[in-house]
Structure 1
Amino acid sequence: MSASVLSLYRRITRWPAGHWLFSRLICLKAPYFTTIAPRFVMLQPGRCEVRIRDRRRVHNHIGTVHAIALCNLAELSAGMMAEATVPADMRWIPKGMNVEYLKKAVGTMHGTATPEAAAPASGASQEWPVKVEVVDDAGETVFRARVLMWLSPRKRS
């Protein structure tokens, strides 16, 4: 599926409103992420950038972007980067996530996921750490996450 998602992204984002359409398609596949209304900015092997707008539905009681909305942004961007990067005969699932809330998250959030190590080769199951940095409109880092992905061979049908 790796190549197909990346191929779909490359095809669709050439169209007007293509980034919006791709984002909607991903949310159809994984409906929980509609809670943050993500917009994919870039997807390529080794990098995924996703933006969430500042809207009331992602706010907490003090009017800033909720901690869990930031975690959702981190999980989505790390997962899609993994999807575009790992070999097609491997699958991935988040195994754990460590997060740091560095300052109040106000405004549009822009998350960037990149691997901490080179893309793994096909073969044995293994852990693969992915770092995610989320910045605000001013470019200041408000949140960091380390998502530990578990990679394993896809089952043959």
Structure 2
Amino acid sequence: MSDSIPRVLALYNKLQRYPLGGWLFSRAICFQAPYFGSISPRITRLEHGRCEAYIDQRRRVQNHIGTVHAIALCNLAELTAGVVSEASLPTSMRWIPKGMEVKYLAKAKGRMLAVAAPAVPAAHAEQGYELPIEVSVRDRGGTEVFSATVRMWATPKPQRS
């Protein structure tokens, strides 16, 4: 098992030294997983056990009633859950989403701030295990408009010969 810092967390910490580092980090994540670019997220905080990101309401993420579309919120939840998984799991482990339960709690208008954190500590294991990530999305007024539990499947990385 390696105790080194996860690459995604090292990159985030390195880029934070620069004025546009947060924007550049968010763009790099969207380059790695292009679909997330559809919501133009901005990751504002990343540390072991916590990821925060926001999206702004604009036409391309709206539904027919003028609120942030439910799938845009799901996309934001999966993004933050994946990034916090990558930053929190030991470098000897990998992850993949296994499922997601969501709750739409209020109309989503304006900027949406997501906070994701593992429900249990991420750890090294010899076999695969489920790692639930809790995500809460709030509007600027602090009202929780959406919540999700993203179930990640964490497994040891294959041994390289």
> Does the CA-based 8 Å contact 1:113-1:131 persist in structure 2?
yes
> 1:92-131, aligned counterparts within 5 Å?
92-131=95-134
Gaps of 5+ in 1: none
Gaps of 5+ in 2: none
Q: TM-score, normalised by structure 1?
A: 0.97
**C-alpha deviation, 1:122, in angstroms:** 3.3
Name the counterpart of 1:76: 79
For 1:16, which of 12, 19, 44 is the aligned residue? Answer: 19
**C-alpha deviation, 1:110, in angstroms:** 0.2
Moved over 3 A (4+): none
SS of match in other structure, 1:87: coil
For 1:33, which of 15, 36, 39 is the aligned residue? Answer: 36
SS of match in other structure, 2:18: coil
SS of match in other structure, 1:27: helix
SS of match in other structure, 2:6: helix
SS of match in other structure, 2:9: helix
Identity within the alignment, %: 54
**C-alpha deviation, 1:123, in angstroms:** 2.1
> Does the CA-based 8 Å contact 2:44-2:52 persist in structure 1?
yes
CA distance in 2: counterparts of 1:62 and 1:74, whole angstroms: 21
**C-alpha deviation, 1:2, in angstroms:** 6.3
CA distance in 2: counterparts of 1:95 and 1:66, whole angstroms: 22
State the Cα deviation string for residues 67-120 of structure 1 (Å, max 9, x = none): 000000000000000000001011000100000000100000000001111122
SS of match in other structure, 1:132: strand
State the Cα deviation string for residues 31-52 of structure 1 (Å, max 9, x = none): 0000000000100010000110
Distance change in 2, residues 1:2/1:76 (3 Å): farther
> Does the CA-based 8 Å contact 2:43-2:52 persist in structure 1?
yes
Q: TM-score, normalised by structure 2?
A: 0.95
CA distance in 1: counterparts of 2:15 and 2:71, whole angstroms: 29
